[in-house]
Amino acid sequence: MNMHYEKGQFVGYVTVAGPRSEVPVPNRWYLRQCSPGCDARVIERLRMLDVSAWSPTIVRFIDRRTGKVAAKPHLGKRVEKPFLPGLIFIPDFELNSAAMRHGVPDLGEFLRVTVSGGGRVIERSDFMREVHLVDEYTFASMRVVDMAVLRDIVNDENGVRIGRGRRGNYKPGDMIYIVDGDSPLFAFAAEVKRGIDSRGRLNAFIASLMGGVSVDLSETQVEPA
């Protein structure tokens, strides 16, 4: 039945049949490996299977003549590359989906992080013992708050490029950015834990990656935040 409604008129409501669809919210995102150069292909296959996944990408506009970043987007060719090549982020609510159980071409195993190594003694006889080394590990994952930081970094990087070639006399507690475009840690913020040594290297702590990771970097790979 067609009704003509006028502005200001009071109306009722109708009940929609069927349950309301709830949008799942992840608590953690797990890192899963993929074949080299297949990041975009894997993401597309997962989307076709209605599986949520994310591969952060960096967009650049490259001048065809010089091969360098163009002064303005319309003056260059659009090039998109993975921010963390070979890694795909999978939300926890997708871990047991049918598509993930059956396998996806070019999608590898979950990234594992070794927690500790130990030994287990197996008694064979009164005179012989056999020792098996056992590594305890956990699956690499990131909290929602850490993912928000990562998304902010990627968004900022796709807006205004980080990196002007500045150098600094770094000391513990200083904040820096990793500006080496070939590094998988490119554009991450980190805190200096050990200043530059005689070899021009420093140690920094990345709090937003997998619960915290310490890395050694060259002074040419970083700049002051």
The predicted structure's pLDDT at residue 193: 92
pLDDT band of residue 118 (cuts 50, 70, 90) is low
Question: Is residue 49, in this structure, part of any structural domain at all?
Answer: yes
Question: Is residue 126, in this structure, part of any structural domain at all?
Answer: no
Task: Please provide the average confidence, as pLDDT, over all residues in the chain.
Answer: 76
Look up the pTM and report it: 0.55
Which residue in 119, 127, 111, 123 sits closest to 184, CA to CA? 111
Q: 212 - beta bridge partners? A: none
Question: Is residue 42, in this structure, part of any structural domain at all?
Answer: yes
Of the candidate ranges 14-28, 134-148, 172-186, the one whose mean pLDDT is the lowest = 14-28
* CATH number for 36: 3.30.70
* CATH number for 169: 2.30.30.30
- Domain of residue 189, residue span: 162-225
Classify 116 as helix, strand or coil: strand
Classify 30 as helix, strand or coil: strand
Q: How far apart are CA 215 and CA 225, in angstroms?
A: 17
pLDDT in tens, 21-58: 455 667 888 999 999 899 999 988 888 888 888 888 88
pLDDT band of residue 120 (cuts 50, 70, 90) is low
Which residue in 32, 47, 39 sits closest to 83, CA to CA? 39
Better-predicted residue by pLDDT, 54 or 148: 54
pLDDT in tens, 61-116: 888 888 887 777 777 888 888 989 999 998 888 888 777 777 788 998 888 877 66
Q: 78 - beta bridge partners? A: 61
